[in-house]
Amino acid sequence: MEKFFLEIPSLDRKQDALDYLEENIKYGSDLNGIGSIDKWLEGISYEEWLLELKRRENSEYVSKINRCLSKTFFVVRKNDNRIVGMINIRYNISNEMLKKGVSHIGYGIRPTERNKGYAKIALYLGLLEEQKLCEEKVLLECTTDNIASNKIIKALGGKLEATKLDPNDNMMTNYYYFNVNKTVKKYFKQYDTKIENHH
């Protein structure tokens, strides 16, 4: 059986991360949950990106740049040690930021690994991380025309809270809330066998 885990980005994964990024670009895919790794294409090095990820876990730093605390992970398939996705976990988000549409979880699956149920596993892994960070209620958003993403969020129990124009990109967007503990408990049997617990 295939198993998956979240892995903290490291120097050892530099080439794998580049492959992941290049594949998304090749397929013209939206880059979601990547913790700004695309800045690599704008001239910052992978090593600088790793440093930026660490800084994003520092309260003082994120308040200076008007962001929220976040952690970024690779979603790895244990069977072949391949990065199949990335996920960005945000936490301690202020009410002001939530009102502006900042959501708790962003994630993406690489184009050649889609339609295999991996996005649901990635979202479940993300909810487990939010639980570890003591987040009880988390917000997810996706555009109204992203049928696949809306289905995935609903499949894991996301409750539609609002549909409105996202001020950041002027797209009609659905906003869903999850009760983290309830969701993790409800879907534990379904996903626990697919998860390898380590970072």
At 11-65, the pLDDT tens digits run: 999 999 989 988 988 998 877 767 677 676 677 888 998 999 999 999 999 999 9
Structure tokens at 125: 């892994």
Contact indicator for 181, 128 with CB cutoff of 8 Å: no
Say whether 114 sits in a helix, a strand or coil: coil
What span, in angstroms and rounded, lies between the C-alpha atoms of 25 and 149? Answer: 19
At 138-167, the pLDDT tens digits run: 999 999 999 989 999 999 999 999 999 888
Q: What is the pLDDT of residue 185?
A: 94
Contact indicator for 94, 71 with CB cutoff of 8 Å: no
Q: What is the pLDDT of residue 198?
A: 61
Q: What is the pLDDT of residue 35?
A: 66
Contact indicator for 116, 77 with CB cutoff of 8 Å: no
At 53-102, the pLDDT tens digits run: 999 999 999 999 999 999 999 999 999 999 999 999 999 999 988 888 88
Can you give the pTM of this predicted structure? Answer: 0.92
Counted residue by residue, the chain has a size of 199
Q: What is the pLDDT of residue 170?
A: 86
Q: What is the pLDDT of residue 136?
A: 94
At 123-141, the pLDDT tens digits run: 999 999 999 999 999 999 9
Q: What is the DSSP string of 10-25?
A: -GGGHHHHHHHHHHHH
